[in-house]
Amino acid sequence: MRKTKGALACVLMGLLSSSACWAQDDLMDFFGEDEGPTVVTSAFKAGRIINVQSPETSGEGEMNFIIAHRFGRLSDGWYDLFGLDNAQMRMGLDYGITDRIQVGVARSTFGKTLEGNIKWRFLEQMKGGGSPVSLTGYSVAMRDGLRLPPDGPERRGVHRMSYVHQLVVTRKWSPEFSLAVIPSLVHRNLVDQPDRPNDVSTMGMGFRYKLNRRMSVNGEYHYLLPRPIEDGLHNSLSLGLDIETGGHVFQLHVTNSRGMFERAFLAETPGRWQDGDLYFGFNINRVFQVR
């Protein structure tokens, strides 16, 4: 009998304690707790939407290793296995100095081009007050390493240099949809045709739509200015699929741009979708914590 009374007492004490906790939680919910503005994260999954920069940067002490392949034209048919026989490659390393500042180097087989870049996410999108968008600046210097014919014009090292400066304006509208507007300025120290300007600009847009936790559809488009001065060149349009597998992000895409560095796909895209000048490619992103 005493054991039964003891058990009942324990049950009653537990119920009273639980009721007190629930009452305290309800009281806190009633008064509410102002957490203040919070940073909106993960507008995009990788450092690039497809070709162009996204607002994402490597975290402090993180090294992001990117391997990108771009194959030949799909319209080349079976003889070239729909372009798979003609591959270009780009390898890059991006390192996070801080959570917002990143530096990187890269090498592309297309034009044997070397790159050095810096990226700074200087304004964050906030939820519950603050900025409605994020702002990220990106600058890259490129140098081509192609051998020149012996009877061609002399080109010094400075002639091989080109530069691109971008501003990535991004808003994550919902957990599924993010949109970026990307104006860019391209400067080439030397152009291959006298009627082409050294400086051109583009107005780009990119988006991401999440299909589920691991996959998203991405796209980007860049309108080349001025026109029709850049005769024979066209706007870059790319569509792709991002797949996250934990430590890796795979990006599969189709685009009309063969080059994978900024000057090439922004200012030097000769192909058009309607002419069948489409190239399949992929990016592999792998992050390492080095500090």
Q: Is residue 13 one of the residues assigned to a domain?
A: no
As a 3-state breakdown, the chain gives helix, strand, coil percent values, each rounded to 5, of: 20, 45, 35
Q: How far is it, in rounded angstroms, from Cα 200 to Cα 175?
A: 35
Q: CB of 266 within 8 A of CB of 186?
A: yes
Q: CB of 93 within 8 A of CB of 65?
A: yes
Q: How far is it, in rounded angstroms, from Cα 20 to Cα 38?
A: 31
Q: The whole model's pTM is what?
A: 0.82
Quick one: pLDDT band at residue 228, thresholds 50, 70, 90?
low
Beta bridge partners of 62: 289
Q: Is residue 33 one of the residues assigned to a domain?
A: no
The region of weakest confidence among 56-65, 220-229, 261-270 is 220-229
pLDDT at 81: 85
pLDDT at 153: 61
Q: pLDDT digits over 143-170, tens only?
A: 998 877 776 666 677 888 999 999 999 9
pLDDT at 290: 85
Owning domain of residue 162? 38-289
pLDDT at 80: 84
Q: What percent of the chain has pLDDT over 90?
A: 60
Q: pLDDT digits over 19-71, tens only?
A: 444 344 443 443 444 567 899 998 999 999 999 999 999 999 999 999 999 99
Q: Is residue 19 one of the residues assigned to a domain?
A: no
Question: Residue 142 pLDDT > 60, yes or no?
Answer: yes
Residue 98 is which amino acid? T
pLDDT at 227: 63
Angle at 43 (CA atoms; ends 41, 48), nearest 5 degrees: 120
Higher-confidence residue of 122 and 17: namely 122
Count of Cβ atoms closer than 10 Å to residue 271 Cβ? 20
Q: Is residue 141 one of the residues assigned to a domain?
A: yes
Q: What is the CATH number of the domain that holds 284?
A: 2.40.160.40
Q: Is residue 246 one of the residues assigned to a domain?
A: yes
Q: Is residue 30 one of the residues assigned to a domain?
A: no
Q: Is residue 175 one of the residues assigned to a domain?
A: yes
Q: pLDDT digits over 231-264, tens only?
A: 688 999 999 999 998 778 999 999 999 999 999 9
pLDDT at 14: 47
**Which of 68, 53, 105, 65 has the alpha carbon at shortest distance from 289?**
65
Q: Is residue 70 one of the residues assigned to a domain?
A: yes
Higher-confidence residue of 190 and 27: namely 190
Question: Residue 82 pLDDT > 60, yes or no?
Answer: yes
Please give the span between the terminal C-alpha atoms of the chain, in angstroms, as a whole number. 65
User: In the chain, how many domains are there?
Assistant: 1
